[in-house]
Amino acid sequence: MRIAPVSASMSPGSIVTPGPLAFVLVNKFVNHLPFYRQEARFERIRIRICRQDMSSREIAAAENLPDSLTCTARGPVDRIVTEPDYLDVTLAPGADLYHRIPAGKNAFAYVIGGQGRFGDGDTVGNETLVFFSDGERIRLRASRAEPFRFLLCSGMGIGEPVAWQGPIVMNTKDELAQAFRELQDGSFLDPTGE
């Protein structure tokens, strides 16, 4: 197993460091927020980063990673009560390794490329979601034909009820109804509180 060293820059000739790059990529691949929407969000806080720049930096960073196991560095997702970990893992064809889910954390893997196996399970492919138990030691294996890429995410459970409808998750149905009312009147997630 090789872990990609953290460099001063994730893209030659740029000032892109692992933290901001991880933030953009987690928003794209985990939160399903396309670059054009991230560009608009950055503009609202007076940061000018165009979507073409985000895309080219993502590609340049990916091309500079080693061809074995690749894990992103800890980025802006830090000092959060649930202690989340977001790992973008790429296993070279035929690679085989073990990873332990930290005790007390819930975890899942979401396959975004190639085929492989988690533990003794069946071979899985793109857009497959696999859940793991806390403290579980899992074997990760890529097929011999192609690299196996997946997001491995874990975090402490918060033990709260969940009310979910479409893109919105709250604790109660009343909170969910309030969120949809705010979405309709344009005040949902308004940082000014107006």
Query: Where residue 95 sits, what CATH number does that domain have?
Result: 2.60.120.10
Q: Are residues 139 and 94 in the same domain?
A: yes
Q: Taking 90 as the threshold, does the pLDDT of residue 102 lie above it?
A: no
Share of the chain above pLDDT 70, in %: 76
Q: Place 142 in a pLDDT band, splitting at 50, 70 and 90.
A: very high
Q: Is residue 140 part of a domain?
A: yes
Question: What is the model's pLDDT at position 67?
Answer: 38
Enclosing domain of residue 99: 85-156
Q: Are residues 49 and 106 in the same domain?
A: no
Round to whole Å and give the CA distance between 74 and 57.
18
Share of the chain above pLDDT 90, in %: 20
Number of domains in the chain: 3
Question: What is the model's pLDDT at position 63?
Answer: 57
Q: Are residues 181 and 140 in the same domain?
A: no
Query: Is residue 132 within 8 Å of residue 138, measured between CB atoms?
Result: yes
Measured CA to CA in angstroms, residue 109 lies from 7, 49, 55, 102, 146 at distances of 26, 29, 24, 14, 18
Name the pairing type of β-strands 85-91 and 129-132: unpaired
Give the tokens for residue 187: 């005040």
Question: What is the model's pLDDT at position 114?
Answer: 95
